[in-house]
């Protein structure tokens, strides 16, 4: 879901979800706001009639998703929602209103559920933000969750230098969903990611098993984090060259991504003789699995030489030559 002044085509082109869908076999559905509903193309996350289950914009988005699932025979248990800014705020509202439809979500530079009840309220939420206890924030989700519904898994992305939707909103969003899940306020695990990003996991020590994930990007302003150098999105207005948020989000959801989870199938190549010994062309995932490379923070590095190979996944394929026992070098020209 796009942010204010954006449209669906812009978000598809820049956010990195197009490449992620191709790599992981995902279907994408893009909601698009109309100027007739909001002059700045913002989703109306602050209007009670647009965020209540069964009405307004959340019902419209839910209908789009239900139609796509039925028409294309998709897995109804693996449906997720993500959005930036106003789209991030609406993502949070969708997760509270339709946890039976969305197994999880990713709130990028958004605000907590139930923060505003009108346009004036919305500006206060964005900057300087509202101060509530985790219990109070959690109550605002619980007031919307359908009876007997389990909460969805939630990722929250925020830049520490965001002056449009201040970072306090990211912290409040994490506290809100951690409280909804009934988890301790301290994370169970953490890791450093590219782009000066810190990931913290609640309800599990890592991305694969956590209920709530917090991704804080140091020094980043207001926008969706992308990593064009790795083929993840395109930098531009509100698409900031820092880290591949789509890849790490897909990893958290368990549908693909940078690393973790079950990889998509890729052929394993037999070694051929190169000028200096065995040469192997394979995916970075296979290089790591078969001892020719190692994995560090979502990227692969050749064993011995330490040559950077790029993202650790099944889509990126590289050639390595064994120049001496257990010492592999990147072979740019291929085998």
- The answer to whether 136 touches 183, Cβ cutoff 8 Å, is no
CA distance 298 to 167: 25
Q: Structure tokens of 8?
A: 């669906």
Taken in order 246, 165, 181, 206, the sign of the CA dihedral is: positive
* Residue in the block written with tokens 């009934």: 182
- Is residue 283 annotated as a catalytic residue, yes or no? no
Q: Structure tokens of 168?
A: 């306090």
H helices within the chain, ranges in order? 8-14, 17-24, 48-51, 56-72, 86-97, 119-126, 134-142, 167-181, 245-253, 284-289
Angle, vertex CA 300, rays to CA 299 and CA 304, nearest 5: 140
Taken in order 238, 243, 249, 250, the sign of the CA dihedral is: positive
CA distance 193 to 286: 21
Q: Structure tokens of 175?
A: 């506290």
DSSP 252-287: HHTSS-SSSSPPPP-PPPPPEEETTEEEEEEEHHHH
The single residue of 24, 82, 85, 245 carrying the catalytic annotation is: 85
- The answer to whether 205 touches 186, Cβ cutoff 8 Å, is no
* Residue in the block written with tokens 């909103």: 169
As annotated, the active-site residues are 85
């Amino acid at each position: 879901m796009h942010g204010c002044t954006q449209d669906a085509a812009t978000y598809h082109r820049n956010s990195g979800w197009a490449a992620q869908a191709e790599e992981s076999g995902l279907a994408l559905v893009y909601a698009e706001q109309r100027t007739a509903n909001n002059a700045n193309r913002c989703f109306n996350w602050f209007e009670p009639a647009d965020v209540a289950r069964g009405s307004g914009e959340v019902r419209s988005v839910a209908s789009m998703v239900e139609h796509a699932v039925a028409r294309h025979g998709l897995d109804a248990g693996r449906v997720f929602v993500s959005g930036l800014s106003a789209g991030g705020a609406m993502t949070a509202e969708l997760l509270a209103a339709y946890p039976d439809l969305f197994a999880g979500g990713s709130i990028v530079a958004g605000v907590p559920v139930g923060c505003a009840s009108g346009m004036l309220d919305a500006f206060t939420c964005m900057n300087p933000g509202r101060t509530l206890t985790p219990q109070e924030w959690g109550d605002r989700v619980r007031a919307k969750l359908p009876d007997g519904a389990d909460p969805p898994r939630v990722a929250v992305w925020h830049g520490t230098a965001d002056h449009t939707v201040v970072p306090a909103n990211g912290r409040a969003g994490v506290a809100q969903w951690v409280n909804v899940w009934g988890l301790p306020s301290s994370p169970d695990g953490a890791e450093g990611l590219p782009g000066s990003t810190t990931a913290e996991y609640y309800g599990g020590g890592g991305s694969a098993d956590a209920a709530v994930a917090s991704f804080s990007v140091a020094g980043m302003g207001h926008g969706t984090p992308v990593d064009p150098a790795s083929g993840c999105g395109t930098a531009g207005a509100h698409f900031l060259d820092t880290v591949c948020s789509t890849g790490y989000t897909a990893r958290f959801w368990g549908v693909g991504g940078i690393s973790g989870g079950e990889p998509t199938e890729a052929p394993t190549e037999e070694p051929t003789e190169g000028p200096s010994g065995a040469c192997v062309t394979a995916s970075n995932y296979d290089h790591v699995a078969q001892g020719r490379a190692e994995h560090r923070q979502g990227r692969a590095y050749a064993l011995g030489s330490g040559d950077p190979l790029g993202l650790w996944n099944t889509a990126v394929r590289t050639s390595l030559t064994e120049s001496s026992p257990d010492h592999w070098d990147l072979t740019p020209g291929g085998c």
